[in-house]
Amino acid sequence: MENDSLYQELDKNQLIQSFSTLLDRVLPQMVISLDDERLTKKVRGVMSIELFSKIFDDFTPEQIEMFNAVVEGR
């Protein structure tokens, strides 16, 4: 995971805050019981959501409109 350049763009402090918030919502036993593969998948999922949430930060209004048009099938 350390080698994935996309994940390197994430703000580590924000990511820690996101994980902290998520972990406050689950029982520790649920996390402890996960095997490495399943835990890695869940961590990657959270990191992917963090990345996706920032996708529009660098978009111009025109690019956002084009994205919305494609998603809506216009």
- The pLDDT of 26-47, averaged and rounded, is 91
Q: What is the pLDDT of residue 4?
A: 63
What is the rounded distance in angstroms from the CA atom of residue 48 to the CA atom of residue 57?
Answer: 15
pLDDT band for 7, please (50, 70, 90 cuts). Answer: confident
Pairwise CA distance, residues 15 & 10, whole Å: 7
pTM score above 0.85: no
Q: Examine the pLDDT at 38 and tell me if it is beyond 60.
A: yes
In angstroms, rounded to a whole number, what is the distance separating the alpha carbons of residues 74 and 68? Answer: 8
